[in-house]
Amino acid sequence: MASRAPLFLLVICFCCCSGHAKSFVEVVCDKTITGRVAHQSMLTCKVETTQEIPDLTITVVVWKKQGDDDPFLSALDRRPGKKNKFPPGYKVTLNDRTVSLVITDPKVKDEGVYSCLVMTDSGNAETTTHFKVTAKYEAPSVYSIDEQVVPNAHKSLICKATGGYPEGKLRWFDENKTEWTKSAEPPIVNQTEDGLFEISSKLPLMKLSTSDEYTCVVYNASDGKEGSATIRTDDPDPDASTQNSSKTSLSAIIAPVLVVGSLIVGLLLALLICRRRSQQKNRRPSTAPLMGTHNMVPNTDEVIDPPPPYCEEFKDNMA
């Protein structure tokens, strides 16, 4: 509150002294001054006199915004011993008889009616000017969705534009420049915390529609074109294209792996078959009969006795 006291005193002094030289000094400003959001803007007025005053001295300049709870924005006091401290984002400048309020980073909230109060050594004066702000809309985005609500419509086109001020509008055109805005649903308009607008529009496409291409155009409040976006209704679904691309990439990776794996398995089987055949060739054939019984010949070191004598006599008789 203490920081505002000098401003209040200046205004009170201005009101008390305004009648002495009102007819000799006046402040002239444009009725409307337009700036852009986030671009430095300057509200400029000129101090003029109704008679020749070659050595006019401007001592105090006060800018205030009407209607705010804290309307006093910035003041320039050129009287001896006075120090000037401007609030962040605002600055008062004086160049000869031109007085200005510089807004370094305009926002939507800065829009409104401003008063310029000037005190001179030859009288005081006050006037107002309307400061308007604009913001350019970003390029709109367009995409399609399957329609399940609108009768006889198989899909709908959605267009969105953001970041603009004041409120603009969206319009639809086909490839033949025929406008389809009347066929669209009423636009949805939202205002963000910073005062900028978001606009969306929905255009249902009937099943018998013959157009293959539609363009959404965003216009500002002065009917100036600020951006556009085009979509083809015969284009495949971007998500489906992405999925197909992913599947193709995956197939390109899996196919070589399967081929190499098959070759390795084939080589292993060939090696196994060759090894088995080699083992069969090197195996000795068996001398034992495959079937039936047989007596094993004992392996012994015992001495066998010779046959008895009668055996010899029997052999001689036989002879």
DSSP secondary structure, 11-26, as one string: HHHHHHHTTTSTTTEE
Q: Greater confidence, 283 or 86?
A: 86
CA angle 238, 243, 246 (to 5 degrees): 125
**Of residues 53, 99, 103, 64, the one with CA closest to residue 78:** 99
pLDDT of residue 162: 97
Q: Which two tokens stand for residue 266?
A: 């084939």
Tell me if 38 sits within 8 A of 24, measured CB to CB: no
pLDDT of residue 242: 43
pLDDT of residue 12: 47
**Coil, helix or strand at residue 223:** coil
Q: CA 152, CA 206: separation in Å to the nearest integer? A: 6
Range with lowest mean pLDDT among 206-215, 232-241, 255-264: 232-241
The tens digit of pLDDT for each residue in 197-209 reads: 999 999 999 888 7
Q: Which domains does the chain have, with CATH numbers?
A: 2-134 (2.60.40.10), 141-234 (2.60.40.10)
Q: What is the mean pLDDT of the chain?
A: 81
Q: CA 319, CA 311: separation in Å to the nearest integer? A: 13
Q: Among residues of the chain, what percentage have pLDDT more than 70?
A: 73
Mean pLDDT, residues 266-295: 65
The tens digit of pLDDT for each residue in 102-137 reads: 999 999 999 999 999 999 999 999 999 999 999 999
Query: What is the value of pTM for the model shown?
Result: 0.66
DSSP 4: G
Mean pLDDT, residues 221-249: 70
